[in-house]
Amino acid sequence: MHEKNVKYLTTGEFAKLCKVNKQTLFYYDQIGLLSPLFKNEKGYRFYSINQIDLFYVIDLLKTLGMSLHDIQQYTQNKSPESFLTLMYQQKDEIIKMRQEIEMKEKLIDTKIALVEESLQIDFDQITLQHLPEAMLYLSRNIENMSDDEFVEVVSEFIGEINEAKLDTGYPIGGITKREQVLKGEYSNYSFLYIEQPQPKEGYPYFQAVKGDFLIGYHIGEDQTIHHTYERLFAELERLDLTLGNYVFEEYIYDTVVKNDNEQYVTKIMMQVVRND
Q: Please give the Cα distance from 49 to 9 (Å, whole number).
A: 7
Alpha helices by DSSP H, listed for the chain, are: 11-18, 22-30, 51-63, 68-75, 80-118, 147-163, 178-182, 225-238
In the DSSP assignment, the letter for residue 172 is P
Reading phi first (left if > 0) and then psi (alpha if -120 to 50, else beta), residue 129 is in beta
Reading phi first (left if > 0) and then psi (alpha if -120 to 50, else beta), residue 40 is in beta
pLDDT-based confidence at residue 8 (cuts at 50, 70, 90): confident
Residue 5 has pLDDT above 60, yes or no: no
Interval 91-111 mean pLDDT: 93
Interval 212-216 mean pLDDT: 97
13-25 pLDDT, tens digit per residue, is 999 999 999 999 9
Report CA 90 to chain centroid distance, whole Å: 23
Contacts of 227 (CB under 8 A, 6+ apart): 218
In the DSSP assignment, the letter for residue 255 is T
Residue 126 has pLDDT above 90, yes or no: yes
Q: How many CB atoms lie within 10 A of CB 269?
A: 20
Interval 205-209 mean pLDDT: 73
For residue 104, the one-letter residue type is K
138-189 pLDDT, tens digit per residue, is 999 999 999 889 899 999 999 999 998 899 999 999 999 999 999 999 999 9
Residue 55 has pLDDT above 80, yes or no: yes
- So what's the pLDDT on residue 1? 45
Interval 212-234 mean pLDDT: 96
Q: Please give the Cα distance from 272 to 136 (Å, whole number).
A: 19
Backbone angles phi and psi of 138, in degrees to 5: -110, 155
Residue 276 has pLDDT above 80, yes or no: no
Average pLDDT of the residues of the chain: 91
Is the separation of the CB atoms in 175 and 181 below 8 Å? no
Give SS3 for 47. Answer: strand
